């Protein structure tokens, strides 16, 4: 079986792009003006139609094709060349388990130390290739051909990945193409309700007029001064000062509530518009899951409509309930299966630190939180803790879930809803009781310290699977450590600020949990 890299170039602009309508609709509504094919004895660049004339359909049906972003290029290939016999493979997915970037420029930087000049591609925004003069067309041809050659280089330089990771990558691409069915009628109804509610909230804000500044902090300050009311520095729902002001001043409470409603309704309307713009003719939303989206923990992330972060609580507007989770429906003859991961992260954390007493309690049938309490002699009653003392059970649960990675007293008080002094005492007692965890933090701190002193500045942590979790370019600046989690990527997305032992323990735990779920799926 011969391997080839394929790279399509297509028209894009503000009115027509992948970011707004997703891959499937973009490849339906736009057009590809060029394609490069590079691999075993082939170095072609030209139009998709010219490629089909040069290479017969057997070539397209029987070759193993690779692309930087396989779903994108495979969708174009299907439009111009028909179905291929073999599923396409993805260069980015091959690099992801080894913490390489999901962009050609950064992938090449991570592999060779030199990036890729994308200026020619950037200049094609809102430009039709056929309208370019001959010399400009040649520049685009050269760029496209060189792109495919560089992708071929990356494909051959990348290390092989395990069979498990390859299957998970393939599953991700299959899931993205298959998508999920959407109740369009429900979504459009919710959008209409939100638009009406947003309009009401907007015009209930005193200073709103033709200036269209409903969320202006300056206008709020002027209004508060006019009314003789205090003006909060923040409108955040979690801000205790703002909450106190709103409780004391009903008029201020009404205005800030309308400002918050306007903002939250606006955000949700934008999400709905993004979702509707991505639906295909069968009301299916193609997914945009990213395999190993978080490179170091290998957890999935998502672009477009983020189905991994849907609001848990519905929005109540009068008699209507807006619940984004109800927009998703099972296909005919199918049903949604909703699993529970059963506190997998704290279970993994206690396995990592070899907390055998707690793990033995779990093996005896106790739930995680009661196992923790009993193994530490915090609960000795023969009766179940949850039914006998639900308040104490809640406290233990918060400790087990929240304190393993170094959460401080202030944040813990917000989680538990207690006084900060009381939380400080709880955090101190928990750390004294869980020396194996705090010792693990200290061990990781030493790894960070050592990595900052060696030439390659890399931290390597071996996982139970035999793979490694790495942090690159460890630095100590301004009295704190930082690192990069993606090779060749120095952007904020990759940068880990405030690096310390608790962060590395959290990374290891999340990676282990993801590996377990991936291997059990």
pLDDT in the model for residue 453 = 95
What pLDDT is stored for residue 154 in this prediction?
A: 97
pLDDT grade for 244, boundaries at 50, 70 and 90: very high
Cα–Cα separations (whole angstroms), residue 45 to 36, 54, 135, 263: 4, 11, 16, 48
pLDDT (mean) for 73-101:
93
How far does Cα 328 stand from its chain's mean position? 19
| Cβ–Cβ under 8 Å, residues 501 and 484 | no
Three-class SS state of 456: coil
pLDDT in tens, 271-286: 999 999 999 999 999 9
Global confidence as pTM: 0.91
Q: Span 210-226, mean pLDDT?
A: 89
Phi and psi at residue 166, to the nearest 5°: -65, -40
Using DSSP bridges, classify how beta strands 328-329 and 180-182 pair: parallel, antiparallel or unpaired.
Answer: antiparallel
Q: What's the CATH number of domain 3-178, 3.40.50.720, 1.20.120.330, 3.30.420.10, 1.20.1280.50?
A: 3.30.420.10
The pLDDT of residue 152 is above 90: yes
pLDDT tens, position by position, 90-142: 999 999 999 999 999 999 999 999 988 999 999 999 999 999 999 999 999 99
pLDDT at 520: 80
User: Which helix or strand (DSSP H or E) is residue 401 part of?
Assistant: helix 390-402
pLDDT score of 83 more than 90: no
pLDDT tens profile 159-184: 999 999 999 999 999 999 999 999 99
pLDDT the model gives residue 417? 83
Q: Is residue 449 a contact partner of residue 504, using CB atoms and an 8 Å limit?
A: no
* pLDDT reported for residue 293: 95
Mean pLDDT of 460-472: 96
Q: Which residue is associated with the tokens 């200290």? A: 442
From the number of C-beta atoms within 10 Å of its C-beta (0-12, 13-18, 19+), residue 255 rates as: buried
Confidence band of 56 (pLDDT split at 50, 70, 90): confident
Closest CA to 187 of 303, 312, 284, 301: 284
Q: Kindly state the average pLDDT of the residues 35-55.
A: 94
pLDDT tens per residue, range 352-409: 999 999 999 999 999 999 999 999 999 999 999 999 999 999 999 999 999 999 999 9
Residues 183/190, Cβ–Cβ less than 8 Å: no
Q: What is the pLDDT of residue 61?
A: 77
- Average pLDDT over the chain reads 94
Q: What confidence category does residue 48 fall into, taking pLDDT thresholds of 50, 70 and 90?
A: very high
Q: Quick check: 31 pLDDT over 90?
A: yes
pLDDT at residue number 1? 79
The pLDDT value given to residue 98: 97
Residue that the structure tokens 């298959």 belong to: 178
The pLDDT of residue 92: 97
Give the pLDDT mean for 66-93: 92
Rounded mean pLDDT, 428-440: 96
Question: Per-residue pLDDT for 212 more than 80?
Answer: no
Query: Among 39-48, 52-61, 185-194, 366-375, which stretch is predicted with the lowest mean pLDDT?
Result: 52-61
Q: Among 143-147, 206-210, 322-326, 489-493, whose mean pLDDT is lowest? A: 206-210
Spell out the domain ranges in the chain: 3-178, 182-329, 344-436, 442-520
DSSP 230: -
Distances (CA, A) of 222 to 139, 227, 422: 56, 9, 39
């Amino acid at each position: 079986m011969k391997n080839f890299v394929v790279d399509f170039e297509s028209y894009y602009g503000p009115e027509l792009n992948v970011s707004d309508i997703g891959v499937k609709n973009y490849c339906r509504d736009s057009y590809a003006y060029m394609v490069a094919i590079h691999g075993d004895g082939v170095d072609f660049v030209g139009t998709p139609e010219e490629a089909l004339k040069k290479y017969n359909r057997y070539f397209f049906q029987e070759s193993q094709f690779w692309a930087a972003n396989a779903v994108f290029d495979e969708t174009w290939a299907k439009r111009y060349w028909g179905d291929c016999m073999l599923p396409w493979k993805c260069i980015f997915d091959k690099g992801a388990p080894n913490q390489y970037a999901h962009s050609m420029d950064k992938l090449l930087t991570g592999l060779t130390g030199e990036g890729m000049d994308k200026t020619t591609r950037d200049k094609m925004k809102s430009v039709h290739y056929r309208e370019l003069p001959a010399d400009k067309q040649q520049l685009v041809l050269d760029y496209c051909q060189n792109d495919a050659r560089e992708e071929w280089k990356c494909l051959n330089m990348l290390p092989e990945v395990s069979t498990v990771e390859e299957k998970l990558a393939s599953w991700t691409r299959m899931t993205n193409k298959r998508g999920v069915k959407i109740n369009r009628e429900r979504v459009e109804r919710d959008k209409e309700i939100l638009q009406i509610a947003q309009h009401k909230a907007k015009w209930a804000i005193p200073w709103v007029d033709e200036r269209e500044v409903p969320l202006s902090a300056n206008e709020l300050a002027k209004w508060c001064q006019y009314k003789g009311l205090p003006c909060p520095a923040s409108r955040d729902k979690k801000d205790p000062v703002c909450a106190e002001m709103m409780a004391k001043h009903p008029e201020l409470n009404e205005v800030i509530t309308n400002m918050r409603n306007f903002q939250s309704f606006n955000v949700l309307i934008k999400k709905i518009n993004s979702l509707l713009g991505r639906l295909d003719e069968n009301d299916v939303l193609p997914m945009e899951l990213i395999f190993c989206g978080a490179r170091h923990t290998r957890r999935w992330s998502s672009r477009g409509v983020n189905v991994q972060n849907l609001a848990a609580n519905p929005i109540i507007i009068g008699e209507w309930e807006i619940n984004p989770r109800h927009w998703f429906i099972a296909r005919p003859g199918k049903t949604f299966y909703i699993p529970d991961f059963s506190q997998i992260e704290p279970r993994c954390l206690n396995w990592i630190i070899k907390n055998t007493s707690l793990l033995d309690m779990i093996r005896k049938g106790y739930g995680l939180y009661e196992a923790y309490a009993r193994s530490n002699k915090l609960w000795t009653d023969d009766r179940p803790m949850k039914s006998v003392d639900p308040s104490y059970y809640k406290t233990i649960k918060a400790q087990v879930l929240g304190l393993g990675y170094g959460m401080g007293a202030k944040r813990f008080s917000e989680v538990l809803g207690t006084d900060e002094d009381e939380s400080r005492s709880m955090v101190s007692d928990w750390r004294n009781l869980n020396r194996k965890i705090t010792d693990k933090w200290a061990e990781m701190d030493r790894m960070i310290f050592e990595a900052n002193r060696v030439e390659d500045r890399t931290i390597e942590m071996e996982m139970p699977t035999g793979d490694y979790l790495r942090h690159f370019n460890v630095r100590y600046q301004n009295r704190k450590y930082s690192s990069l989690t993606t090779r060749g990527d120095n952007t904020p997305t990759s940068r880990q600020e405030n690096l310390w032992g608790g962060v590395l323990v959290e990374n290891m735990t999340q990676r282990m949990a993801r590996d377990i779920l991936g291997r059990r799926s």
